[in-house]
Amino acid sequence: AQSVTQLDSQVPVFEEAPVELRCNYSSSVSVYLFWYVQYPNQGLQLLLKYLSGSTLVESINGFEAEFNKSQTSFHLRKPSVHISDTAEYFCAALNAGKSTFGDGTTLTVKP
């Protein structure tokens, strides 16, 4: 069975600071990895995904994540956050049509 662990439940940072949201997964088979974001009072939105190929994937709003097979990690990073990045972030692993999610990390960006 696969599992996903998000190591931080709450991450408070100041605006324009860098941030890293950590995600580790465990699976005995190949998985596809995703980060979703949920803004207040909205649904889940796909932020970025790793299916194959380059281990560094980027989103359109400046986030990036690196797939590290040896460390079974898929950490999400952004070099400079904005107030508008305040949201809950979910890491997920997809295998055989079933997504397994972490508990979520609430990112709070303070002015």
Partner 1 sequence: EAGVTQFPSHSVIEKGQTVTLRCDPISGHDNLYWYRRVMGKEIKFLLHFVKESKQDESGMPNNRFLAERTGGTYSTLKVQPAELEDSGVYFCASSPLPLTDTQYFGPGTRLTVL
Binding site for partner 1 (CB under 8 A): 4, 32, 34, 36, 42-46, 49, 51, 90, 92, 94, 96-104
- Distant-in-sequence, close-in-space partners of 7: CB < 8 Å, separation ≥ 6: 22, 23, 24
Identify any residues that bridge with 10 across adjacent strands, giving them in sequence order. Answer: 106
Identify any residues that bridge with 49 across adjacent strands, giving them in sequence order. Answer: 34
- State the minimum distance, in angstroms, from the CB of residue 103 to partner 1: 5
Q: Is 91 exposed, middle or buried (0-12, 13-18, 19+ CB in 10 A)?
A: buried
- State the minimum distance, in angstroms, from the CB of residue 1 to partner 1: 11
Among residues 13 and 44, whose Cβ is nearest to partner 1? 44
Among residues 15 and 64, whose Cβ is nearest to partner 1? 64
Among residues 69 and 98, whose Cβ is nearest to partner 1? 98
